[in-house]
Amino acid sequence: MRILPKLLLTVLSIFVSALAAASELLVIDDNGAELRLERPAKRIISLAPNITEVLFHIGAGQADSRCR
Protein backbone atom coordinates (compact mmCIF):
# COMPACT_ATOMS: atom_id res chain seq x y z
CA MET A 1 0.00 0.00 0.00
CA ARG A 2 2.96 2.35 0.34
CA ILE A 3 3.42 2.48 -3.44
CA LEU A 4 0.12 4.35 -3.96
CA PRO A 5 1.23 7.56 -2.19
CA LYS A 6 4.51 7.50 -4.12
CA LEU A 7 2.68 7.02 -7.41
CA LEU A 8 0.28 9.85 -6.62
CA LEU A 9 3.20 12.08 -5.66
CA THR A 10 4.85 11.25 -8.98
CA VAL A 11 1.67 12.05 -10.92
CA LEU A 12 1.26 15.36 -9.10
CA SER A 13 4.93 16.16 -9.69
CA ILE A 14 4.48 15.56 -13.41
CA PHE A 15 1.46 17.86 -13.41
CA VAL A 16 3.28 20.63 -11.57
CA SER A 17 6.28 20.22 -13.85
CA ALA A 18 4.01 20.47 -16.88
CA LEU A 19 2.80 23.83 -15.65
CA ALA A 20 6.37 25.08 -15.78
CA ALA A 21 6.30 24.44 -19.56
CA ALA A 22 9.77 22.93 -19.71
CA SER A 23 10.85 21.27 -22.94
CA GLU A 24 11.87 18.06 -21.15
CA LEU A 25 10.54 16.97 -17.80
CA LEU A 26 12.41 14.92 -15.24
CA VAL A 27 10.65 13.53 -12.17
CA ILE A 28 12.47 11.53 -9.50
CA ASP A 29 10.37 9.47 -7.08
CA ASP A 30 11.20 8.53 -3.48
CA ASN A 31 13.03 5.40 -4.65
CA GLY A 32 15.30 7.44 -6.92
CA ALA A 33 13.70 6.20 -10.15
CA GLU A 34 13.73 8.79 -12.92
CA LEU A 35 10.89 9.46 -15.33
CA ARG A 36 11.65 11.65 -18.35
CA LEU A 37 8.97 13.12 -20.57
CA GLU A 38 9.76 14.78 -23.91
CA ARG A 39 6.94 17.28 -23.40
CA PRO A 40 4.39 18.10 -20.69
CA ALA A 41 1.73 15.48 -20.03
CA LYS A 42 -1.64 16.14 -21.67
CA ARG A 43 -3.63 13.92 -19.32
CA ILE A 44 -3.36 12.71 -15.77
CA ILE A 45 -5.08 9.77 -14.11
CA SER A 46 -6.28 9.86 -10.54
CA LEU A 47 -6.36 6.50 -8.79
CA ALA A 48 -8.37 7.60 -5.75
CA PRO A 49 -11.43 9.83 -5.27
CA ASN A 50 -9.70 12.03 -2.70
CA ILE A 51 -6.85 12.74 -5.14
CA THR A 52 -9.43 13.60 -7.82
CA GLU A 53 -10.86 16.20 -5.46
CA VAL A 54 -7.41 17.68 -4.90
CA LEU A 55 -6.75 17.83 -8.65
CA PHE A 56 -10.03 19.66 -9.27
CA HIS A 57 -9.26 22.04 -6.39
CA ILE A 58 -5.91 23.04 -7.95
CA GLY A 59 -7.55 23.58 -11.33
CA ALA A 60 -6.54 20.38 -13.08
CA GLY A 61 -10.11 19.16 -13.45
CA GLN A 62 -11.14 20.46 -16.81
CA ALA A 63 -13.55 17.91 -18.25
CA ASP A 64 -12.54 16.08 -21.39
CA SER A 65 -15.14 16.63 -24.12
CA ARG A 66 -15.07 12.90 -24.93
CA CYS A 67 -16.44 12.10 -21.45
CA ARG A 68 -19.76 13.83 -22.00
Percent of the chain clearing pLDDT 70 (strictly above): 75
With a cut of 80, say whether residue 21 has pLDDT above it.
Answer: no
Give the contacts of 43 (CB within 8 A, at least 6 positions apart): 64
* Domain definitions of the chain by residue range: 3-60
Q: Compute CA distances 29 → 64, 65, 66, 68, whole Å.
A: 28, 32, 31, 34
With a cut of 70, say whether residue 63 has pLDDT above it.
Answer: no
Cβ-based burial of 48 (10 A; exposed 0-12, middle 13-18, buried ≥19):
exposed
